[in-house]
Structure 1
Amino acid sequence: MSHDGPALTGDTPRTVLMCPGQGAYLPGALRHLRDLPAVADVLRRVDAHSTALGATGPPVARLLTDPGAPDPDQLLHTDPLAFDLATYTAVTALAVVLLDLAARPVHAVLGHSMGDLAALTAAGVLTLEQGVRLLHLRDRLLRDAALPAAGLLCTDLTADRAAELLRTRALARVRIAARNAPTQTVLAGPDDQLATAARAARALGHRATPLTSRTAYHHPLLIDVHRSFRRLLRAQRVAPPALAVYTTVTDRPLGTPAQLRSLAAAHLTEPMALHPTLHALRRAGVTTYLDSGPRALLTTLARAALPGCAVAAPFRTPVGVERLRHRLTAALG
């Protein structure tokens, strides 16, 4: 059986479903959709499988249906595994809803950082239970690694200006983790050097905002975790993707089993470049960009990169099904 992903060919306008990672956890994000059978099923299965694997933290169903649940910073501090599970579950559940309700067919998925795992699930490559198990395995590896305090810093620097700043300030352990937009560059590294980078950027009149993050993703600091996770991924069965699978670490669609397994670990060490992937999607005929996360994290970036493209972030605030249909119709026609 071939595992090549579906090709995006022809002149028919195409739609891509974008799956965000960091920043996609919002307390109570699914509260107005909790009674939808598809959403209820995702919440039930995630909590059941996570409990079977030994999770002792707050149920994901409560985190995503109670607006009074811990905020991202608090949850990440008290239970990083619950934070990761809630992020993955929110994006996956909302992807299921969009795939069901979107008037236009969806032809591809695009994962962003940790959103690659949700994208693989939405494309049918991994099951929901596999996604939960992989997050448990990754959590164990991260805890056992005894990593130094490290994180991510979002700036409004260009990538070239960021690289110059790191060079002139001798911040050798800080790396460019993501080029999200011409003037949005994310840095990764140990907390002390990130703090120096933030002060330097602000002194030059630029914004520098620490992101809610467990560690310095997209950084060589995690190379040993990456290698161990890749070994564990070799045992995972992957199904042929039902949708073309894209990611921000390459501008080519992924389809072979080896590529798809590697994608689940890419966010640990591989830097992201969103612009080339968005332009590759446009060349492949994609005209519509759907955001499957709370807020409008990726559609904002898509609009900046591709003026004139159609975007929709129907979950930018929690809404019920009818309001959701209205938003989709207004955005997509």
Structure 2
Amino acid sequence: MGHGVRALADGTPLTVLMCPGQGAYLPGALRHLRDVPSVGELLRRVDAHAAALGGTATPVAALLTDADAPGPDQLLRADPLAFDVATYAAVVASATVLLDLAASPVHAVLGHSIGDLAALTVAGTITPEQGVGLLHVRDRLLRDAAPPPAGLLATDLSAERAADLLRTAGLPQVRIAACNAPAQTVLAGPDGQLDAAQRAVRALGQRATPLTSRTAYHHPLLTEVRTAFRRHLRSQPVARPAPAVYSAATARPARTPAELRGVAAAHLTEPVAFHRTLRALRQEGFTTFLDSGPRALLSALARAALPGCTAAAPLRTPAGVDRVRHRLTAALRCAPLPAAGSAAGSG
């Protein structure tokens, strides 16, 4: 095998499961799946380990199975650690359901931003208990570092236009956090300058939407946190992933223990290049992109970026097993075959 996953000789479509970040938290997202054994077991393990570690009194199972649970903004203000753990658990549980129901194998998982931790778990590199433990450590590091109030801003600018705007508006502390699509760029920075960026974008007649986030991820403000987090990660055992793990921060598979640990910390300071990663996966022969989030955020980006490929979100809006299976089957049935000769570049 080369540096990544090669297109299969029998022409089987290559499938990637995409693990979203903070947009994945939706109150009661798993309420119709609570009786699925793998979902119940995952939520039990997450809540048991979170309770053993302390730091939050909010059970994840209640947040993800009760439609009347706090919304994203409310939960983030009241209990940011619970918000992080619930987001992580929602993606891991949803991905597990898709893996159980898929009639054909998933060949890779792709993490987007904080979804990298979920991707590592889905691939078997870390356990759910490790994932919860890492979120607790990161929470403590963020509180100890006490960075200034900061956040994320989604725009419909291209990366080039966003960079020009930041230069002309004199906003040196605002950085490009994510290039999700040719016309979707996320900015990160301290609240004051981010507010100025929002006004500048809207003055151009373009969309600028603050995202629910506890801080400015993908920004140098978190360099101190990243350094300490990476130091902690050195002590974490990591298993060889199956399937392969990709991060939108690197556009290539993580294979070595050092690379896998790097994936876990990438969301703190590394910018996301999701559009570039999608194109790289397509070049390697991937034609089916499944979103494990409840809002179809990543599948919408993949559909726009990769015409001719299949992009689906079987778990969009809370749905039961039968409906999820129907959506998943329909998506896989429509999957195009990889182009002849498609393969990853050799390492």
TM-score > 0.5, shorter chain as reference? yes
Q: TM-score scaled to structure 1, two decimals?
A: 0.97
Match of 1:325 in 2: 325
Report matched runs for 1:158-307 at 5 Å: 158-307=158-307
CA contact (8 A) 1:5 1:241 kept: no
Residues in 2 aligned to 1:326 and 1:287: alpha-carbon distance in whole angstroms: 19
Q: Which amino acid aligns with 2:241?
A: P
Matched position secondary structure for 2:23: coil
Residues in 2 aligned to 1:327 and 1:10: alpha-carbon distance in whole angstroms: 24
Question: Which structure 2 segments of 5+ residues have no match?
Answer: 334-347
Q: Which of 4, 7, 10 lines up with 2:5 in the alignment?
A: 7
Matched position secondary structure for 1:250: coil
Match of 2:50 in 1: 50
Residues in 2 aligned to 1:162 and 1:6: alpha-carbon distance in whole angstroms: 32
CA contact (8 A) 1:5 1:244 kept: no
Report matched runs for 1:75-90 at 5 Å: 75-90=75-90
Check if 1:63 corresponds to 2:63: yes
Q: Which amino acid aligns with 1:245?
A: V
Q: Which amino acid aligns with 1:8?
A: R
Matched position secondary structure for 1:264: helix
Matched position secondary structure for 1:29: coil
The offset of 1:104, in angstroms, is 2.0
Q: Which amino acid aligns with 1:60?
A: V
Residues in 2 aligned to 1:132 and 1:8: alpha-carbon distance in whole angstroms: 32
Match of 1:101 in 2: 101
CA root-mean-square deviation: 1.1
CA contact (8 A) 1:116 1:263 kept: yes
Check if 1:313 corresponds to 2:313: yes
State the percentage of identical aligned residues: 72
Matched position secondary structure for 2:176: strand
The offset of 1:6, in angstroms, is 6.7
Check if 1:32 corresponds to 2:16: no
Q: Which amino acid aligns with 1:229?
A: F
The offset of 1:196, in angstroms, is 0.4
CA contact (8 A) 2:8 2:14 kept: no
CA contact (8 A) 1:246 1:253 kept: yes
CA contact (8 A) 1:8 1:244 kept: no
Residues in 2 aligned to 1:127 and 1:56: alpha-carbon distance in whole angstroms: 20
CA contact (8 A) 2:4 2:284 kept: no
Match of 1:143 in 2: 143
| C-alpha distance after superposition, 1:276-332 (max 9, x if no partner) | 111111111100000011110100000111012111101111111111111112222
CA contact (8 A) 1:6 1:241 kept: no
Residue-pair matches, total: 330
Question: Which structure 1 segments of 5+ residues have no match?
Answer: none
Match of 1:72 in 2: 72
